[in-house]
Amino acid sequence: MSRMSQSALRIFVLNVPEFASLTEAARSLPACRLSDLGDYTVIASDEPVEFGRRALGLKPAVWYGLFTGGLDGRIERFDRDIVRIVPRNAAVA
């Protein structure tokens, strides 16, 4: 399946200090596009994205609440330290 036929993944991040490091990390990734939607920042990408809990400086309780704002994509990995999200229609590895 080509990238052009995949829908972009979207992560809806509530604009609160606890999640600011996720938004900043996404801003530094060339594959990510950020936009504002009310009280949320939307992180979008046509490619898989991966974030590390320690790199974001998050404690486990905040880490596990990272996607409470919503997610349009498929979580391929989500453990204590790493999350990898791929577009919903991406081929399964």
∠ CA 93-51-29, nearest 5°, is 95
- Interatomic CA distance for residues 32 and 26, integer angstroms: 6
As a whole number, mean pLDDT of residues 33-47 equals 97
Residue 73 lies in a domain: yes
What is the per-residue pLDDT for 89?
Answer: 81
Q: Over 70: is that where the pLDDT of 88 sits?
A: yes
In a domain, 82, yes or no: yes
Structure-token match 């991406």, residue found: 90
| CATH number of the domain where residue 52 is located | 3.90.56.10
Cα angle 70, 39, 33 (rounded to 5 degrees) comes to: 65
Averaged pLDDT for residues 29-37: 97
Domain holding 10, by residue range, is: 3-86
Would 91 be classed as within a structural domain?
no
Q: How confident is the model at residue 2 (pLDDT cuts 50, 70, 90)?
A: very low
Q: What is the mean pLDDT of residues 9-15?
A: 98
Report if residue 93 sits inside a domain.
no
Q: What is the predicted pLDDT for the residue at 92?
A: 67
**Can you tell me which residue has the tokens 């992560």?**
11
**Among 1-5, 29-33, 38-42, 86-90, which stretch is predicted with the lowest mean pLDDT?**
1-5
Answer whether residue 12 is part of any domain: yes
Number of domains into which the chain is organized: 1
Q: What residues have CB less than 8 Å from 48, skipping those under 6 apart?
A: 9, 76, 84, 85, 86, 87, 90
Local confidence band at 93 (pLDDT 50, 70, 90 cut-offs)? low
Question: Does residue 81 form part of some domain?
Answer: yes
